[in-house]
Amino acid sequence: MRKSEVLAAESVACLNKALCHLKDIWEEIGIPEDQRLQRTNVVKNHIKGLLDMMITEEESLRTRLLSSIEACRKQLDTLCLELQLPPFEEERGVTMLQQEKEIRTQVEMLVKERTQRMQQLKALTERDQGLSDTLCSDPYALDPNAVPSLEQLDGFRQHIVTYLSVCGQERRHAEFVGIKRQIILCMDDLDQLPETSFEKDIICEDQEAFCLSKDNIASLKLLLGQLEERKAENQAVCEAHREKIQELWDRLQVPQEERELFSEHMVVSKKKNLDALEAEGRRLMELKQLNMQNVTEAIRSEIAVLWEKCFFSSDQQQAFVPYYSNDFTEQLLGLHEAEILRLKQHYEEHKELFEGVQRWEESWRLFLELEKKATDPSRFTNRGGNLLKEEKQKAELHKSLPKLEKKLKAQIDVWEQEQAREFLVNGQKFLQFVEEQWELHRIEKENEKLERQLKKSKQIEVDMLYGTAVRTPTKRRFLGTTTPSKARKFNGTTSSLSSANSNSTMRSAYGGTVCHSPSRPPLSVNKVPSVRTPGRSKPPLAGLQERNKENMGQVTGVGVPLQSGGFKTLASPQRNFSINSVASTYSEFAVICVFFCVLFSTFDCFYAATHGLAMRGGLSGELWLIDKCILFLDMLNQHSNRIGSIKVCLNV
């Protein structure tokens, strides 16, 4: 027998054992037959749903395997056709999983083979194309987009080897033609005419008459290199003039029409273009002298941008005193130009570091925005998955910010070792700046938390002062059902008083109640149908006055006369004996209210547990509540003085 079958049998045995165990528990508890049927049905539905889910997953796996086999077969047939290979024969009598693995492995092998052939074809084609361009010949006739066979690749290689060995003279001639063409272009760009006899032979003589020796080819390359070097120098000079002209255009606010007229010289770098650029530079310098103030202010705006990019503090900015001078002279302009050059060089040298700090600041701003959005309750009503996107983005920032800080710390350490000075961001060390931002964020979160707690405490005080309706949601009754009676019977009789007290206690503890302030007694005390204002309320009843006298006597330490003619022994005068004195704050009064609600419900549940639990069909809820109430009383026992005051206050 297979191990899987043994495990299946064990699973059935475990299920039967569990059902028997459940049956014994139900027998011991005394659960009725209809509830047993319901619970057994729940067990059956749970197991059936689990098995159905597992069956669905396995069927999905089988479907995926079949789809993969079909797709791999099609791909395998296509690859065999492209690689000119015989069709693949599948092995018979194998399982579906083995068949899928075998076909997929074969597909991967053929894909790798096709990739290798195409790479070899590409390399050979590039080499053949280079030879064809040099020697002005036709390329090898082979389709570069089709997968070649092994025989075609071997023939292509042999063709290239033969072509290189036979056509050496033609290769040199093609090389001479290419170098001559480049020399002519360089001389044209430099506006230079042939001067030496060698240059005249290259430019003016017939190509067939030129000797293609190795020395001549080397001399041609040397001449071309010299011309290209001079051309590169001209291009660098022209580029420098262009940058200077562009800066002056921006600072002097030259109209776009004038710039377009000069656009030809901003692209080409010939000798005439260089002369035009030099003339334009001189003209703009003269114009700059006439517009000293505008140019200086334009440079100042650029300096401000660089200060922000380099994270200069206000002290560092104020260190450049000429920035705040209004005496616009040529000397002031020169100082500004020197400063902007220094800042540009400083930014370019440490561009990677500054960009990293900029990325951190952007990520930090985004993090703060997401934190602020998290406190907005309206985001739960948005559609389109914005909440999920924000949470994902916030989680990514939680991971990326520490990594970025660690990376920047390493870069800053290297920079400080190289520069022998500290790297400052807005006048302070970067890590100190980061810690300060985190600390400010933490303090802000704590302030928000304290503000919420303060608001909540104020609301509690308002509720305790004016009262608040507390409703516990209850299940709706079905139509036609009635609430079973909670009356407890003793020896065939019903204790209506006990039942009424118990039910009223449970309703006060778990139903809708109205909590009142300790300074305002509930309406039931005065026994009046309407609420009256404190100024117009009637005096308390005689019974209440007698009890108040007794309490006042306890407070003052004087004995209170009893109906029997004696005096009642009073407690110690250090204790307080009123609700107002026991609950000095509204929060303490709320604790006392909760204590009595739980205490009364505990007595009621204990009474039900000892006399009527058989009718309810279970013990877990009541016993749990009794246990929690005992723990609550133990906790309050640690504050014996306050509990004693509560007992005395209520004449316990």
Instruction: Please tell me what DSSP assigns to residue 170.
Output: H
Distance CA 608, CA 511 (A): 18
Which tokens is 554 given? Answer: 């306890």
| CATH 1.20.58.1520 residue spans of the chain | 360-461
Encode pLDDT of 562-619 as tens digits.
433 443 433 333 444 344 444 444 455 555 555 555 555 544 444 444 444 434 444 4
Instruction: Please tell me what DSSP assigns to residue 498.
Output: H
Q: Which CA distances in Å does 9 have to 18, 19, 49, 474? A: 14, 15, 19, 45
Q: State the alpha helices, DSSP H only, in 328-385.
A: 330-349, 351-374
Which tokens is 615 given? Answer: 């009718």
Beta-bridge mates of residue 490: 493
Q: Which CA distances in Å does 45 have to 14, 89, 487? A: 17, 47, 37
Beta-bridge mates of residue 493: 490
Question: Cβ of 505: how many Cβ atoms within 10 Å?
Answer: 20
pLDDT of residue 174: 76
pLDDT of residue 509: 37
pLDDT of residue 56: 92
Which tokens is 357 given? Answer: 């700090």
Q: What is the mean pLDDT of each run of 10 residues along the chain (652 residues)?
A: 81 89 90 89 90 91 89 88 82 83 89 89 84 64 82 86 66 78 82 76 69 73 86 86 85 80 79 85 80 81 87 83 83 85 85 82 82 72 71 80 82 80 76 83 87 87 73 50 45 39 39 42 42 42 42 40 39 40 48 53 47 41 53 56 47 42
SS3 519: coil
CATH topology of domain 360-461: Methane Monooxygenase Hydroxylase; Chain G, domain 1 (1.20.58)
Encode pLDDT of 41-53 as tens digits.
998 899 899 989 9
Q: Which CA distances in Å does 447 have to 377, 442, 443, 637? A: 19, 9, 6, 35
Scan for tokens 């609950």, then name that residue. Answer: 583
Total-model pTM: 0.31
Least Cα distance to 600 among 508, 497, 486 occurs for 508
pLDDT of residue 607: 45
pLDDT of residue 520: 45
Distance CA 455, CA 425 (A): 39
Least Cα distance to 579 among 463, 460, 459, 464 occurs for 464
- Residue 308 near residue 361 (C-beta atoms within 8 A): no
Scan for tokens 């009527």, then name that residue. Answer: 612
Least Cα distance to 410 among 484, 352, 496 occurs for 352
Scan for tokens 């006990």, then name that residue. Answer: 498
Rama region for 427: left / alpha / beta (φ>0; ψ in -120 to 50; rest)? left
Beta-bridge mates of residue 567: 561
Which tokens is 518 given? Answer: 């300790």
- Residue 522 near residue 466 (C-beta atoms within 8 A): no
- Residue 262 near residue 280 (C-beta atoms within 8 A): yes
Distance CA 437, CA 483 (A): 61
